[in-house]
Amino acid sequence: MRAKFYPLMLGALLAAGIGTAQAKDKDKDATPPEKQISKELTPSLQAAQKALDEKNYQAIIDATAQAEAAKADRTPYENFFIAEMRVQAYLGLNDTPHLIDALEAELATNQLPEADAAKRERTLMQLYYQNKDYPKFMAKSDAVVQKGGATPEILTLRCQASWSLKDWAATDTNCKQAIDADEKAGKPAQEQVYQMLVDSAAQRKDYSNYVDYIAMLLQHYQKPDYWADYLAFLPRKPGFSDRLALDLYRLSARVGAIKGGNEYLEYADLAKQATLPGEAKAALEKGQSQLAGNPTAKQMLAEMTKAAAEDQKGIDKQVAEVSKAPTGLPLEKLGEAYASYGNQAKAIELIQKGIDKGGLKNPNDAKLHLAVAYLNAGQKDQAQKAFQELTSAPEGVGELAKAWLLYLNQPA
């Protein structure tokens, strides 16, 4: 799935998130020597402090430059004081690149208390992301993850950053972590997180996980394009039988995933081959706008309209006849015919009788048709149960049952 991706929204960096970490040097005698400002720097840093009170951010930058020029062999605390003044100035100026430099310089002095240093590290990490310096963001956030302090928001940003870096294996890991964290918080992850997880599988040509990841996306965000991708790749699952092509189209039509006229034509042809003229006619009528001017479709519609009318005239008379058959297959097939004409109650009755009678080559197919009939009849609880019982069925029936459950349990 090659959807357009956009950067995830990063919350605005609030001044309160950084705060002011320096201590005003009002009482020099009470200040330890290592925390004192030398006389060479005092005038410039006092000017910087005054400019901060006045919110004159450019004056702060000028004053701290003068302080650096006044003394080369500064103490760690003096360097910290200068860096902190610049943090506040660049924050006020909304100058992210220079704010990053100032925060890095401040943290390098090792003068901050542990709690304040942790806040600065987190702010710096967010700024790396905001400035699209993803390698530094990942390196900084790695430490947060290792310490167990990563919030769902940070994990979401890690998913985006690794995707932006085209590190597909890391994208897979980081997006899953973000999804798990949001699920533990009782909410779905952002739609883009699932999109990037899907894309990571596509980039690695891991089509088995690709389908599973789209299923994860569909659990929370159901759109026709997602369904189209999901159902197009579902038959690539190991062991998926070709005989389920008609069943696949039925679900595709239900979720709005059929787009082109050729797909509607193929759907109708499969229904025709299954001797279900009513379903073939319905497929052609649904795709009429895409099939306009197609002579093959026009001819087939005329044929299926006539065949469906004749079929409906004698369908009730067939019930007694198929009931005498040695296996349940004719009953099941007649049930499908009733379903194609909208008589779901009769469809449920006959398909169930066919299953009970036995002798079906593919009994799970019949159970799938029964579940769909329940759903079409508005019996959602019964349909849910029937689909659930099929989720482990082989040859692709289980995969289709899971897909129907995704549709059945779609978000409100």
Measured on CA atoms in the order 10, 174, 231, 373, is the torsion positive or negative? negative
The pLDDT assigned to 31 comes to 66
Classify residue 30: in a domain, yes or no: no
Together in a domain, 43 and 130: yes
CATH code of residue 135 = 1.25.40
Together in a domain, 132 and 156: no
Classify residue 389: in a domain, yes or no: no
Place of tokens 């081959």: 273
Together in a domain, 73 and 118: yes
The pLDDT assigned to 311 comes to 95
Q: Give the integer Cα–Cα distance in Å for 374 and 362.
A: 19
Instruction: Among 139, 172, 206, identify where a domain stops.
Output: 139
Taking alpha carbons only, the member of 175, 156, 196, 167 closest to residue 4 is: 196
The pLDDT assigned to 270 comes to 98
Instruction: Among 166, 197, 221, identify where a domain stops.
Output: 221
Q: Give the integer Cα–Cα distance in Å for 321 and 337.
A: 15
**pLDDT tens string 128-155:** 999 999 999 999 999 889 888 889 999 9
The pLDDT assigned to 41 comes to 94
Together in a domain, 64 and 133: yes
Tally of domains in the chain: 3
Together in a domain, 121 and 158: no
Classify residue 190: in a domain, yes or no: yes
Together in a domain, 188 and 128: no
Per-residue burial over 377-394, b if 16 or more Cβ lie within 10 Å, else e, is: bebeebbbebbeebeebe
- Measure Cα distances from 242 to 245, 344, 396 in Å: 6, 26, 9
How many C-beta neighbours within 10 Å does residue 296 have? 12
The pLDDT assigned to 19 comes to 53
Measured on CA atoms in the order 69, 70, 73, 78, is the torsion positive or negative? negative
Q: Which long-range contacts (CB under 8 A, 24 or more apart) does 355-362 make?
A: 355/328, 356/328, 357/327, 357/328, 357/331, 358/327, 358/328, 359/326, 359/327, 359/328, 359/329, 360/327, 360/328, 360/329, 360/332, 361/329, 362/243, 362/395, 362/397
Together in a domain, 129 and 158: no
Together in a domain, 196 and 125: no
The residues, ordered by sequence, that sit 6+ positions from 227 with a Cβ below 8 Å of its Cβ are 218, 252, 255, 256, 257
Together in a domain, 51 and 122: yes
- Measure Cα distances from 102 to 88, 90, 290, 353 in Å: 9, 8, 61, 77
Together in a domain, 135 and 43: yes
The pLDDT assigned to 9 comes to 32
Together in a domain, 124 and 165: no
Classify residue 193: in a domain, yes or no: yes
Classify residue 69: in a domain, yes or no: yes
Please answer whether residues 191 and 220 qualify as being in contact, where contact means their C-beta atoms are separated by less than 8 angstroms.
yes
Q: Give the integer Cα–Cα distance in Å for 284 and 300.
A: 8
The pLDDT assigned to 12 comes to 32
Domain holding 205, by residue range, is 152-221
Together in a domain, 134 and 156: no
Instruction: Say what the alpha-carbon torsion angle 3, 229, 301, 268 is, to the nearest 10 degrees.
Output: 170
List per-residue pLDDT tens for the chain, 412 residues long. Answer: 333 332 333 333 333 345 555 444 444 445 677 788 999 999 999 999 999 999 999 999 999 999 999 999 999 999 999 999 999 999 999 999 999 999 999 999 999 998 898 889 889 999 999 999 999 999 999 988 988 888 999 999 999 999 999 999 999 999 999 999 999 999 999 999 999 999 999 999 998 899 999 999 999 999 999 999 999 999 998 899 999 999 999 999 999 999 899 999 999 999 999 999 999 999 999 999 999 889 999 999 999 999 999 999 999 999 999 999 999 999 999 999 999 999 999 999 999 999 999 999 999 999 999 999 999 999 999 999 999 999 999 999 999 999 999 999 988 7
The pLDDT assigned to 30 comes to 57
Classify residue 345: in a domain, yes or no: no
Classify residue 343: in a domain, yes or no: no
**pLDDT tens string 163-207:** 999 999 999 999 999 999 999 999 999 999 999 999 999 999 998
Classify residue 255: in a domain, yes or no: no
Q: Give the integer Cα–Cα distance in Å for 275 and 134.
A: 58
The pLDDT assigned to 411 comes to 84
Instruction: Among 139, 161, 183, identify where a domain stops.
Output: 139
pTM (2 decimals)? 0.81
